[in-house]
Amino acid sequence: MLLAFFFTACGEEPVPEPQSLSVNKTQVTFDAAAGEQAVQISANCNWVVSEDWEGSVKWGTVTPQSGQGNGTLTISVQANSGADRTGVIKIFSAEKEVRITVTQKEQEALIRNVSQVRALYKGSDITITDKVVLRATVISNYMHTDNGGLNNYTSMKAIVVSDAEAGIQLFCAENNVDFKQGDKVEIQLMGQTLSVYNNGPLQVNGIPMANIKKVGTETLTAKEISAAQLLTGDYESMYVAIPSVQVTDEDLNKTFVVASAHTSIEMIAETRETFDIFSSRYASFKDVTVPSGSGMLKGIASVYDGRYQISIAQVSDWEGLTGERFYTAPTFTLNTTEKEVSGEAGQFTVSIAANVAWTVSSTDPDNFAVSPSSGSGSTPVAVTYTQNPSLSEPRSADIVFATTDASVSLQTLTLHITQSPFEALVSDPVRTWMELPDVHEKEHFAYISHMTTLKGKSVRNYAFWYDTQNRLAHWVAYPLYQDIMGSGSRTDAWDYNPKVPKRYQPSLLYSFGGSTYDRGHQLPSADRLYSYDVNASTFYFTNLTAQNASLNQNLWAGLEMKVRGWAQTCDTLYVVTGAMIRTPEDQTIEFVNDNDGNQVAVPRIYYKVLLKYKSDQTENGGYSAIGFWYENRSYSAEYPVAGDAKTIREVEALTGYDFFRNLPEEIAAAVETACTPKDWGMN
């Protein structure tokens, strides 16, 4: 009995129950909205959770993270603003593992009209977080004239879109060269910010052009509204037609753009409301005289700094202003009594504010002719004038309007015209400056030099050989040394050269329109930082050329940096920078338009020749030289290398110029035929 008990007490342990772990769902799917779902766990053991959420940002959570036995798992996800995404949840014990795949769908596009998008703005900047797609039509034509646009905005990044009920402005991240007036577009707005610009239009800020897709075209139709309705602001950024309006008497005879500045021309309605026509100084129609009659005006309704305005969308927008001006009493006035014109031949129009018949005559009809000689109301009169034969004396004439209408108190009105002397292009005397190439008189060319003041002394700044027909300098020559380089700031003072008549210069207040060319300096801005005035002189339009943007900003900029470094290692570095518009192999000239539509020659080759003077160097009187040339195209290199270096004679053979004409004859040959890159720190 004792033995039996022993065997019974020392028998084997009972076998434990096997672990079990399962879930009621192995696939969980969410739509794009934030949400949560429960998953039931069946288990007879301890378990823990691990998570793997696709993407760089954790977009889901799981609770609890561990448990024992049966339980409920809660899976929560954030709203999805991107593409479909997937996560994996693992639940495991010591022996078992199960997986749950979590899928969240991308947000469906929310198609919205302009009114719905505008309603998102509540008075302060707001970023759109939903996948909003706006459908509208481009109504503006702010593209550059090269692309068929009117260039009628302060930036080519602006596009105005509208539908039948509302409009909104897009301010893009890049210039618009793709979307034309009448293009129907779909615009992806998720992640974009709505804001009001300067108490003016509501706009989408900095939207990438890639977010805009053309889906069709349609013909623009203006929505007719009254001037009073315009002033409500309810039609902002829509293409509208406003009847019964005219230019105010004070703005009669002005051009759409006055004095090369952004211009507002005041309009008045027959019901006495006023608003403006706003025109960019870059507008293609800037020199057109505003219509003097009354009638229908079309354009894009807008507001700026609280003032309501119309922006011209098509050159036909003002064609309806042909009716008689509206007045409540007999009117015969001329707000403009003085007019200045240039010394060149030309023409302008003048209109009186009137509702009576009149005649007009000139005190010098041979040189200041008028047409027609009579009219009524605000009929415009053309005044045609000849070139002033004097280079030093102005001349003048009076244009006299007269009426016999007894109801008008002042029956004679006079416009006094002053014509400036004819502005001739005169070459400066050619000096014996070391940097100058040989200069010979040539038709349509002029030699121009600029001086500056440095430490109380008059010193030379730079000189150039200017081609009036092709609107560029063929070369610019200048000395370079530490004092004149200075250490000031870039001015960006883009302007006409005061020593060259404007008619011969390119208009380049902003870059060459509709092209990829930079406004390339021949004398670099960074070479003249001594004073504001000397730096501003490098921004004269005569110093600028149409340069490949990649070349200008990379390899050419690298060469300019090297040149400034070399100038600091010697007493004076004499530099000639040139632009060749023809090559010996190709005599044709390529052109690009300036901001006024004038043709400007595009250089094919750029070159620099450098003459270094070191007083402590005995060989060749202290002089040494090097040259470079590059085609006007992109290069992969950022800096010149020794293999790019040329002798002065090689560059002379290419260009046809005799450089450094004033080098002493006994050393000129040795200096101009030698090129030792290592002496210039180039290996």
Contact by Cβ (8 Å): 541, 496: yes
pLDDT digits (tens, 9 = 90+) for 128-162: 998 899 999 999 999 877 678 898 998 889 999 99
The answer to whether 349 and 336 have CB atoms below 8 angstroms apart is no
CB atoms within 10 A of CB 213: 14
Q: What is the pLDDT of residue 29?
A: 94
pLDDT of amino acid 509: 87
**Which pLDDT value is given to residue 5?**
45
φ, ψ at 425 (rounded to 5°):
-90, 115
> According to the model, what pLDDT value does residue 6 have?
46
What interhelical angle do 648-655 and 665-673 show, nearest 10? 90
User: Can you tell me whether residue 341 is helix, strand or coil?
Assistant: strand
The percent of residues in the chain predicted with pLDDT above 70, rounded, is 98
Measured from the Cβ of residue 463, the count of other Cβ atoms closer than 10 Å reads 26
| Amino acid 80: pLDDT | 86
Q: What is the pLDDT of residues 407-442, one digit of tens each?
A: 999 999 999 999 999 998 999 999 999 999 999 999
Q: Does 1 score more than 50 pLDDT?
A: no
**Which pLDDT score is estimated for 608?**
98
Residues 6+ apart with CB under 8 A from 544: 472, 506, 508, 519, 520, 521, 522
| Beta strands in 93-199, from DSSP E residues, in sequence order | 97-104, 110-112, 126-127, 132-138, 158-162, 167-172, 183-188, 193-196
- The pLDDT of 502-510, averaged and rounded, is 92
Average pLDDT over residues 447-472: 96
At 514, is the pLDDT very low, low, confident or very high (cuts 50, 70, 90)?
low
**DSSP letter, residue 405:** -
Dist CA 301 CA 240 (whole Å): 7
User: Residue 11 has what pLDDT?
Assistant: 54
- Of 527, 534, 675, 666, which Cα lies nearest the Cα of 611? 675
Q: Specify the pLDDT at position 32.
A: 86
Alpha carbon distance 328, 309 (integer Å): 25
Quick one: average pLDDT of 261-283? Answer: 93
Q: How confident is the model at residue 13 (pLDDT cuts 50, 70, 90)?
A: low
Check residue 505 and give its pLDDT: 96
pLDDT given for residue 284 in this prediction: 87
Q: What are the pLDDT digits (tens) for 48-65?
A: 999 999 887 899 999 999
Order of strands across the sheet that contains 445-454? 445-454, 457-467, 472-480, 572-580, 605-613, 623-631
Q: Is a pLDDT exceeding 80 seen at residue 12? A: no
The letter for the amino acid at 28 is V
Q: Which domains does the chain have, with CATH numbers?
A: 21-104 (2.60.40.10), 110-217 (2.40.50.200), 223-323 (2.40.50.200), 332-419 (2.60.40.10), 445-680 (3.40.570.10)
Q: What is the DSSP letter of 427?
A: P
Predicted confidence at residue 4, as pLDDT, reads 52
CA 393, 396, 399 angle in degrees (round to 5)?
170
Q: Has residue 107 got a pLDDT over 80?
A: no
Write down how long the chain is: 683
